[in-house]
Amino acid sequence: MMSVEACPVWEAHQEGESPAEVSLGSQVLESLIRNPLFIVPLQDVSKRLSLPMDIRLPPEFLQKLQLESPELPKPLSRMSRRASLSDIGFGKLETYVKLDKLGEGTYATVFKGRSKLTENLVALKEIRLEHEEGAPCTAIREVSLLKNLKHANIVTLHDLIHTERSLTLVFEYLDSDLKHYLDHCGNLMSMHNVKVFMFQLLRGLSYCHRRKILHRDLKPQNLLINEKGEGRLGLARAKSVPTKTYSNEVVTLWYRPPDVLLGSTEYSTPIDMWGVGCIHYEMATGRPMFPGSTVKEELHLIFRLLGEYPVSCHQRAPQHSAQFLHERLDTDGIDLLTSLPLYEAKSRISAEEALRHPYFGPLGERVHQLPDSKWI
């Protein structure tokens, strides 16, 4: 694992399943596009929220269920496996103890909790169901995406609990996030740590983009960090790359690209790369790149720094001046940063390309050869 220099930290489808079992299904997707309040019937929910085949069971329960016994002629069927998981407490509210409220939004509340099965801390995202007869497709969307993402730099979904009143997602608990990390470092991170966190952010994002999944809400608060400095992307608003247009209200203001601020609803993975550039700048300098309080002010800050927005799709944005960058960022760092917040979306460097940038050379070649399940 790549070390992080001292800085206080604030306390495709699975085998055996048909594509229809994994995805939302064409009817649900079409309804999501046409009607954001579409409700999935209860009889469809259980199938769509089924636990992933490789859910991480505690070793003592693996031994109890003899899931790894060579005497078993073949793997347990999905139905048998679900029944066994239910027997030991998965999928049940009483398995988890709520400790502290971490945050609350319009449709969901997040709690710090503890699992009675493992005694480990967890994060409980409780989504309120507004209609008794079904679950909102925003919740179905999140689960459908998260349950199939397995990467060291993406938050792990451990369990799902569906009741008439709520849908609870049980995530691994991480102690902090990049925003708190910056605050407790006095907004002055070591440049080694900037590089390590930037690499982890790009690694998780590249994994999502290869699977045609957008993050849509990149900000320091969504890079979760544990006490070892290991970062994982939270994906509360992850979404498949759209084939039709959607609302332009999709990204936190400071990290929102100008094309979206100006009303564009046609976007793909480059929407995330603008935010990556803003986060890189914030880590390196200790201050946000474009801290606008309104859309108008946000655009003003962007235009003042990068020049006038091109009125023609054939007009290129002005070249960046390195003068606005903090002196702590080296030449390679400046080169990477200036390839991210570009007016023309298709000109922004991709997450995969950014990982191969010379800026990350000092981390060594081995970090590029790690399997998805391993930390740097």
Specify the pTM.
Answer: 0.72
Q: What's the CATH number where 87 sits? A: 3.30.200.20
For 284-297, write each residue's pLDDT tens digit. 988 999 999 899 99
Q: Which of 157, 172, 187 is the last residue of a domain?
A: 172
Q: Tell me the binding residues for ATP.
A: 125
C-alpha to C-alpha distance for 281 and 328, rounded to whole angstroms: 11
- Percentage of the residues of the chain whose pLDDT score is greater than 90: 33
SS3 159: strand
Q: Is 10 part of any domain?
A: no
Buried b (16+ CB within 10 A) or exposed e, 183-200: eebeeebebebbbbbbbb
The total domain count for the chain is: 2
Active-site residue 217, yes or no?
A: yes
Q: What's the CATH number where 211 sits? A: 1.10.510.10
For 63-96, write each residue's pLDDT tens digit. 555 554 445 445 545 555 555 555 556 788 899 9
Average the pLDDT over 15-27 and give the result. 36
State residue 258's pLDDT score. Answer: 92
State residue 55's pLDDT score. Answer: 54
For 44-55, write each residue's pLDDT tens digit. 544 444 455 555
Q: Tell me the binding residues.
A: 125
> Is the same domain home to 329 and 191?
yes
Please give the residue range of the domain that contains residue 118: 19-172
State residue 375's pLDDT score. Answer: 81
> Is the same domain home to 360 and 226?
yes
Average the pLDDT over 304-316 and give the result. 69
State residue 336's pLDDT score. Answer: 95
For the chain, give the number of residues. Answer: 376
> Is the same domain home to 201 and 57?
no
The catalytically annotated residue of 177, 217, 259, 272 is 217
> Is the same domain home to 25 and 151?
yes
> Is the same domain home to 212 and 154?
no
Helix (H) or strand (E) holding 273: helix 270-285
> Is the same domain home to 137 and 39?
yes
User: Rg for the chain (alpha carbons), in Å?
Assistant: 22
Under the banding of pLDDT at 50, 70 and 90, the label for residue 8 is: very low
Q: Is 11 part of any domain?
A: no
- Percentage of the residues of the chain whose pLDDT score is greater than 70: 64
State residue 198's pLDDT score. Answer: 97
Q: Which of 144, 172, 200 is the last residue of a domain?
A: 172
